[in-house]
Amino acid sequence: MARIVGGIGTSHIPAIGLAMARNQCAEPYWKPFFEAYAPVRGWLEEVRPTVAVVIYNDHGLNFFLDKMPTFAVGAAPEYQNADEGWGLPTLAPFSGDAEFSWHLIESLAAADFDLTTCQEMRVDHGFVVPLQLLWPGPGGCPVRTIPIHVNTVQHPLPSPARCLRFGEALGRAIESWSRDERVVVLGTGGLSHQLDGQRAGFINKPFDLFCLEKIVNEPDVLARLTIRELVEHAGTQGPELIQWLMMRGTLGPGVRQMQRNYHVPISNTGSGLLLLEKAA
Amino acid sequence: MNHDDPWGTTIFDGRSARRGYALNKMCYSFNEAANRARFLQDEDAYCKDYDLNDLQRAAVRNRDVLAMIDAGGNIYYLAKLAGIFGLGVQDVGAQQTGMTVEAFRAKLLAAAG
């Protein structure tokens, strides 16, 4: 049977990918950010996951506003990265696992989650940057991947409570898959940032630290927030926390915190890093 | 901004999405390098192809990000337009807050507290 080996929360902003492409990781501005990933990479080498379920939001590469799914699950044998228009180098395609994807789709639909299924899906920085961060080596990403897109572009967005429940159903779906897979779930995006408007540049460190604390053992506290409250406290891009809540939901009630870091700023963003294992 | 949004913030909802559809659709096309080149070659013709309204056309002509947002632009799509001019999120943030890029960066660094 498939088993969830852990969940990781991480930022996915393009500036991280650009810093890696430009070999700036050791520069003083970036060093503390990248250094925090070393123990997480060590953990990945130890547990050797075979599949990564990557929860992210598309930012206008695969989906336009003509059709905007709330939840979309990739069901392709391979996922192409592509030009997003502002200079991030295009990466090699990522392997998928269509059979596993369809099992998740069947299982989530049976749990009353309505999904868009994608047999073709171009993956943007929200998906590729975390994988690049976790597996930066020249061999690229060594695991098969399953992208799950959540709409955080066009309101109304799914509520934090709905997303936590989605994660719980996703966790049951993963662990009911008959093949022996070791699955890591990535909740990407956040934490506080605002790119647009006169309040651009808004970062809320106390709120980010509150979220990092609560998501470990009291995710329901965060699930009670509204999207509007997330925008107020964490900026227009702050609702990406719902992707972390989905990741957290897959792990069940009890978790062990293996790693936690907060660094501010990277580009316009308060950056959180969290590694959780399921409690035995 | 819509009248009930938090200060300095536009929640991109159905109202914005309807208002800004043409502008966002044009910006979505900038995922393709060939379209970015066509825009640079003949901006007027390109904007006409996408049926921008007068407010949107003026905002694009003036490279005025706040005006683009008022005209329904969504920042993820607008970022692709900014990319044509080599501008990143900090340049765009500085413009929207009326700061120099250096002052805007200093403000971000100050968030470390």
Instruction: Classify burial at A260, counting beta carbons within 10 Å of its beta carbon; exposed 0-12, middle 13-18, buried 19 or more.
Output: middle
ipTM above 0.90, yes or no: yes
- The mean pLDDT of chain A is 97
**Which listed residue (A12, A125, A149, A233) is catalytic?**
A125
- Chain B residues with CB under 8 Å of A66 CB are 25
Q: In this predicted structure, what is the pLDDT of residue A203?
A: 97
CA–CA separation, B7 vs B18, rounded Å?
A: 22
Set out the domains of chain A in order of their start, with CATH numbers: 3-278 (3.40.830.10)
pTM for this structure?
0.98
SS3 A10: strand
Question: How many angstroms separate the Cα of A51 from the Cα of each of A54, A124, A179, B92, B106?
Answer: 10, 19, 11, 37, 40
Q: Are the Cβ atoms of B79 and A231 closer than 8 angstroms?
A: no
Which residue of chain B has the CA closest to A58? B76
What DSSP element (H or E) covers A32? helix A31-35
Mutant choice from A65, A267, A269 vs B, greatest count of B C-beta within 10 A: A65
Q: In this predicted structure, what is the pLDDT of residue A137?
A: 86
Biggest alpha carbon distance in chain A? 51
Does the domain formed by B14-86 have CATH 1.10.700.10? Answer: yes
Partner-chain residue, chosen from B76, B84, B111, that has the shortest CB–CB distance to A203: B111
- Tokens 């659709």 correspond to B25
Question: How many angstroms separate the Cα of A191 from the Cα of each of A64, A231, A263, B22, B65?
Answer: 24, 11, 10, 30, 23
- Chain B residues with CB under 8 Å of A198 CB are 7-9, 66, 96-97
Query: How many Cα neighbours within 13 Å face the side chain of B54?
Result: 0
Residues in chain A predicted with pLDDT less than 70, given as ranges, are: none
Q: In this predicted structure, what is the pLDDT of residue A280?
A: 74
- Chain A residues with CB under 8 Å of B77 CB are 60
Q: In this predicted structure, what is the pLDDT of residue B1?
A: 60
Q: In this predicted structure, what is the pLDDT of residue B113?
A: 86
Q: Are the Cβ atoms of A59 and B89 closer than 8 angstroms?
A: no
Q: What percent of chain A has pLDDT over 90?
A: 98
Q: In this predicted structure, what is the pLDDT of residue B2?
A: 67
Residues in chain B predicted with pLDDT less than 70, given as ranges, are: 1-3
